[in-house]
Amino acid sequence: MISHSRSEELFTEALKYIPGGVNSPVRAFRAVGGKPFFVDQAKGARVTDVDGNEYVDYVGTWGPAILGHAHPKIIQAIQRTAERGTSFGIPNPLEVTMAKLICSAVPSVEKVRMCNSGTEATMSAIRLARGFTKRDKIIKFEGCYHGHCDSLLVKAGSGALTFGHPDSLGVPAAFTQHTVVLPFNDLEAVRNALKANLGDVAGIIIEPVPGNAGVYLPKPGYLESLRALTKDDGALLIFDEVMTGFRLALGGAQERFGIKPDLSCFGKIIGGGLPVGAFGGRAEIMDCLAPLGPVYQAGTLSGNPLAMAAGIAALEELALRDGYAQLEESGKQLESGMREAAKASNVPVQFNRIGSMFCSYFTNQPVHSLSDAMHCDRLLFAKFFHGMLAEGIYLAPSQFEAGFLSLAHTGEDIDRTVRAAAKVLAALRAN
C-alpha cells in the first residue's frame, strides 16, 4: 500500500503558511481531488516523493525538463557558475551566449530580451506591440494561457480554466477593455474582429499549439492565415512559445509550421529548470525597448548567470543530440499505445498529440478548441489520473493541461505507461 503520510504532514503545514498550500494553483490537485504529494528529488523521467514513492513523470515541471530532471550537464553548469556568483545586475558573458543561441535557433528573432518568467515575457511583448504600433487593442483566444498578467487573464486556460474562473477577480474591467477574446481555429471571427477594430489592434497573441486547455492543434492553414491577416492589418503577430519553444522543434512551433511571427515569447526549456523568460523578434520592434527606445521593461535578475548557464546547457544539449527525432518516436509509441488501450476499454478518450506534447481528453468527440474540450468528463479524467498515480505514473493533475515526454523517457517507461492505462481504463469501464 502506497503511503503518503509525510506528504500529508507537509501539506497540512503548508496550508498554514501558503494559500492553498501551493505556490502555483495547478499543483493543488483541486481539479482531480485528493492532496498533492511533495517531491523529495527528481532524476531523468522519474520523480520520488517524500514517502519514497517513485513515479514516471509526464509533467516535467510543466515543460522545462525536456532532457529529463537533473541532467548532469545542466547540474554541472549550475554548480560551476554558482561558484563565481549567482547574480550581478551587471552584464555577463552568458547573456550574450544565450541571446545568440535563441537568435540562431529562431530566425524570426533578430533581437531578444531576457526576463524571469513566461508571464513577464508575454506582458512585455504586449506592451512592446502597443508601443511599436501605437495601438491599444490585443486579440487573444479562449483557452490560451499567457501567464497571469492582467490584460491577458481573460478566458484564460491552465489553472484559471481548471478552477472555472477564466477571468480572475481583482482585474478591473478597465484593464481588459482592450482585450478581444476569440474562439481558436475560427478565421471568420478574426476577420470580423480586425474589421470591427480597424487600425486599433496592436497585436494578436496566440499559443500556436494551445497547451493550456489540454493539447489541440491549429487547423491546416489557420496560422498561415493569421500571418496574412495581421500583415494586411498592421497588427503584430505574437507567438507565445513559452511552452512550444524548443519543445516542438529547436525553432519551436514556428519552425514546425513555417511561420515567421513579429514577436515570440519563450520560457521553461530555455532556463533549464531555473526561473526564466524571454521575448524577441524583429530588430526594428525590439529597438523600441529601453534603454534604446520609449517602451520600458526591466528586471533585477533578468539574464542572471545561473539561469543562463542552465539554459545554455539545455539548449546546447538539445542542438547536439537533435533529440527531436527521438521525442517524435517516443510520442508515436505513446500515442499508438494509448489509442489501443482506449479502444480496447471502450472508454471514450481522444488522444491528441504533437511531438512530445499530448493530452487524453475524456470525450467521444474530437477536440479542436476550448469549447470541444469543455465537453470532457472531468470526473472520469480525475479517476483516470488517480488510477495512473497508483500505478506509479504521474500525469498533469487537470484535464486542461498538457503532458510532456522527455529524452529521458525510455521505450520501457512508455510500455509500462500504456499497460497501466489499459488496466486503469478497463477498471473505469467496469465500474
**Binding test (CB under 6 A) with ligand KE4, winner from 57, 262, 372, 401:** 401
**Residues near ligand KE4 (CB under 6 A), total:** 20
Sequence letter at residue 81? T
Q: Does 240 participate in catalysis according to the annotation?
A: yes
- Considering 49, 57, 240, 262, which one is annotated as catalytic? 240
Residue 215 or 250 having the CB closest to ligand KE4 = 215
With beta carbons less than 8 A apart as the criterion, state whether 67 and 318 touch: yes
**Binding test (CB under 6 A) with ligand KE4, winner from 10, 14, 26, 342:** 26
Q: What's the CA gap between 227 and 108, in Å, rounded?
A: 13
CB of 144 to ligand KE4, least distance (A): 7
**By CB under 6 A, residue 159 contacts ligand KE4:** yes
Residue 169 or 198 having the CB closest to ligand KE4 = 169
- Kindly provide the b/e burial profile for residues 150-173, where b requires at least 16 CB atoms within 10 angstroms of the residue's own CB: ebbbbbbbbbbbbbeebeeeebee
**By CB under 6 A, residue 212 contacts ligand KE4:** yes
**Binding test (CB under 6 A) with ligand KE4, winner from 158, 162, 304, 356:** 158
**Binding test (CB under 6 A) with ligand KE4, winner from 7, 81, 108, 119:** 119
∠ CA 100-206-202 to the nearest 5 degrees?
A: 90
Strand-pair partners of 181: 140
Interface segment toward ligand KE4; rule CB under 6 A; list 186-194, 195-203, 240-248, 294-302: 240-248
**By CB under 6 A, residue 147 contacts ligand KE4:** yes
CB of 401 to ligand KE4, least distance (A): 5
Interface segment toward ligand KE4; rule CB under 6 A; list 112-120, 180-188, 191-199, 369-377: 112-120
| Residues 322-351 contacting ligand KE4, CB under 6 A | none
| Residues 43-62 contacting ligand KE4, CB under 6 A | 62
**By CB under 6 A, residue 118 contacts ligand KE4:** yes
Q: What's the CA gap between 277 and 269, in Å, rounded?
A: 9
Residue 42 or 347 having the CB closest to ligand KE4 = 42
**By CB under 6 A, residue 285 contacts ligand KE4:** no
Q: What's the CA gap between 95 and 307, in Å, rounded?
A: 10
Interface segment toward ligand KE4; rule CB under 6 A; list 82-90, 180-188, 236-244, 325-333: 236-244
**By CB under 6 A, residue 399 contacts ligand KE4:** no
Residue 153 or 342 having the CB closest to ligand KE4 = 153
Cα torsion 231, 236, 241, 245: sign: positive
Interface segment toward ligand KE4; rule CB under 6 A; list 123-131, 219-227, 238-246, 376-384: 238-246
Dihedral in degrees, nearest 10, Cα atoms 38, 215, 343, 366: 140
- Considering 145, 222, 324, 361, which one is annotated as catalytic? 145
- Kindly provide the b/e burial profile for residues 64-92, where b requires at least 16 CB atoms within 10 angstroms of the residue's own CB: bbbbbbebebbeebbeebeeeeeeeeeeb
Residue 359 or 418 having the CB closest to ligand KE4 = 359
Q: Beta-carbon neighbour count of residue 428 at 10 Å?
A: 17
**By CB under 6 A, residue 242 contacts ligand KE4:** yes
**By CB under 6 A, residue 395 contacts ligand KE4:** no
Show the site string, 255-284: x = touches ligand KE4 by CB under 6 A, - = not. Answer: ------------x-----------------
Interface segment toward ligand KE4; rule CB under 6 A; list 30-38, 67-75, 205-213, 324-332: 205-213
**Binding test (CB under 6 A) with ligand KE4, winner from 243, 289, 313, 354:** 243
- Considering 55, 268, 324, 372, which one is annotated as catalytic? 268
Could you list the active site residues? 145, 240, 268
Residues that bind ligand KE4 (CB under 6 A): 24, 26, 62, 117-119, 122, 145-147, 158-159, 207, 211-212, 240, 242-243, 267, 401
